[in-house]
Structure 1
Amino acid sequence: MIAIAFLIVAMAARYGQWYWLPEYQGLIWKGLWVTLAMLASSVVLGFLIALPLGLVQVTGPWWLAAPAKTFCTVIRGTPLLLQLWLLYYGLGSLFPMIPGLRGSFLWPYLREAWPYGVAALTISFAAYEAEVMRGAFAGVPSGELQAGRAFGMGRFKLFWRIWLPRALHRALPTLNGETVLQLKSTPLVATITVVDLYGVMSRVRSNTLLTYEPLLLLALIYFLLTVILVVIFRFFENRIPTRGL
C-alpha cells in the first residue's frame, strides 16, 4: 500500500497540473500558519484543562469528580463539528444582543470565527485527554506515592516530583496519538469561514476546477506534519528515563 501511495504521488508530480502553485503559494503558507496555530493553541490549552479534570476524577470529592466526568462524557459523546457549529452559530449569534458588548474590547475578537474554532478544538481535546490523564494518574503505583510521603514530601511536592512525571510518562504515547488526531480535526474550522490549510485548498479547487492536485498536496502536507509530530514525541519519550519504571 505504501508503494502504491508513493507511485500515485510520483505520477501526480510528473503528470499533474501545478501551474497554480506560484499564484497560491502565499495563501498556502498563511493557511499552514493558521492550521499550526489552531493545533498548538488547542493542544496546549486543552492539556492544561485536562490535567485538573483528570486529577479530580481520581482524587477529588464527588461534587468535583461528577461534573468533570459528565463534561468528558458529553463532549466525547457528541461530534466535534456539532460542537463547533453550536459555538459559532449558536453562542456567537447571542453575543451581539448583549448590551454594550459591541463597544467593548472583546468585540473585535468575538466577531471573528477563529476564537470559536480554538474554543471548540480546545474543549474537545481537553475532554479526550482528561480521560487519558485520569487513567495515567490512577495507574501510578501507590507504593511510589507512599515512598514520597515517607520521605516527608508535602502534597504539592509529591504531585510535582513523583505523581505528575510518572503519569506523563504513561500518557505520552497516547498524547502523541491524540495530537495527531487533533491535527486531522483542524480542517473542520473551515466550515465556519476560518481560512486554514484546507480552506485554502478548497479555494484553489473552486478557482482552478482542479481536484486531485490540490488534494494530493494537502494530503502530503498533513502527512509531513504528522511525521514531524511523531518524531517530536518520540524524542521526548526517549528523553524520559525508563529504568525501574
Structure 2
Amino acid sequence: MNGNDIFTPNTFEMYWSGLVNTVHLVFVSLVIGLIIAVPLAIARGSSNLWIRKPVWFFTYLFRGTPLLIQLYLAYYGFAFIPGIQDTWLWFFLEDPIYPALLAFTLNTAAYTTEIFHGAIQSTPRGEIEAARAYGMNRFTMLRRIVLPSAFRRALPAYGNEVIFMLHASAIAFVVSITDLTGAAYYIYARFYAPFAAFLFVAVLYMALSFSIQGLFKYLEKRLLGHLKPQS
C-alpha cells in the first residue's frame, strides 16, 4: 500500500488521540514531579543525615535504572501484591495510564530534584549573607531569595529534562497506551507502511520539542537577561 493512503480522517483522528495522550501524560507527570522535587531538593541539601540520605537514595535509584524497567514494574508489579485486586487501588492500577503516570512522575522527580539541588547549592554566598543581614529566617530566605534564584539558574537544565520526558514518553505504548508512538505502531501494523507512519510521528515529536525549546529560550531571555554582558 502507498504510504500516502494511510493519511485518512480515521488515521488522523488516531494520531490526534495519541498526541493528546502524550501531552497529557508528559504534562501531568512534569507538574506533579516538579511539586515533589522542590521540597526534595531542599531536603537533599539538609545537614541532617536522616533527611538527606533517603532523598539521595531515591534519586540514585530512579536515575540509575532505565525508565522502561520502572514502567514495567509500575504496570505489572502491583498485580502481584496479595489482595490488591480487592481494594480501591485496583481501580487505578488496572488502567495503564495511572501506572505510567506513576513511573514517569517518580522518574522526572528524581532528575528534577538533582537539577534544583545543584542550583540551590550554587546560590551565590553574597545573596545568602544579604538575606541574613535583612533578618530573614530560613523559610523566608528560601521562599524569597534562594528558590527564585535557583529556579532561574535551573531553567536550561530543566528545559532539557522536559524535552527528555517528551521523548521518553514514546515507551508508554508498551503498556497498551495509545500515545503518538502507539498510534504510529497501530497504523503501521494495519497498513504496512512503517516509513510514512513513523516519519509523521517523528515530525510531530520534533515540532513539540522545538516548541518547548522555544518556550524555555523565551523564559531564559526574560529571567536570565540580566546575566548577559552589556554591549
Spell out, residue by residue over 1:42-77, the C-alpha distance to the aligned partner (whole angstroms, 9 max, x if none): 111111111122211213511010000011111111
Q: Given residue 187 of structure 2, which amino acid in structure 1 is its aligned partner?
A: V
Q: CA deviation at 1:94?
A: 2.6
The aligned residue for residue 17 of structure 1 is: 3
- What displacement does 1:37 show? 0.5
Distance in 2, Cα, partners of 1:202 & 1:233: 31
Q: How many residues align?
A: 226
Distance in 2, Cα, partners of 1:39 & 1:60? 33
Q: Is the 8 A contact 2:59 2:111 kept in 1?
A: yes
**Take 2:27 and 2:47, find their aligned partners in 1: how far apart are those partners?**
29
Q: 1:120 aligns with which of 78, 97, 103?
A: 103
Distance 1:113 1:81, change over 3 A: same
Q: Deviations over 1:99-156 (max 9, x none)?
A: 741xx3x443221000010110111111111111111000001221111121122222
SS of 1:140's equivalent in the other structure is coil
Given that 2:188 and 2:197 are in contact with CA atoms closer than 8 Å, whether structure 1 keeps it comes out as yes
Give the aligned residue type for 2:5: Y
Structure 1 pair 99–214 and aligned structure 2 pair: CA distance change class (3 A): closer
Asked whether the 8 Å contact 2:131–2:145 carries over to 1, the reply is yes
CA drift at 1:211:
1.1
Letter in 1 for 2:212: L
Q: Does 1:139 align with 2:122?
A: yes
Which among 126, 130, 135 is matched to residue 152 of structure 1?
135
Q: 2:49 aligns with which of 62, 72, 84?
A: 62
Look up the match of 2:223.
240
Query: In 2, distance between residues paired with 1:27 and 1:179?
Result: 24
Residue 206 of structure 2 aligns with which residue? Answer: 223
| Residue number in structure 1 paired with 2:186 | 203
Distance 1:17 1:87 in 2: 36
| Aligned residue in 2 for 1:37 | 24
Aligned to 1:53: 40
Partner of 2:73: 86
Taking the aligned partners of 2:167 and 2:127, their CA distance within structure 1 comes to 37
CA RMSD of aligned residues (A): 1.7
- Residues in 1 aligned to 2:77 and 2:92: alpha-carbon distance in whole angstroms: 16
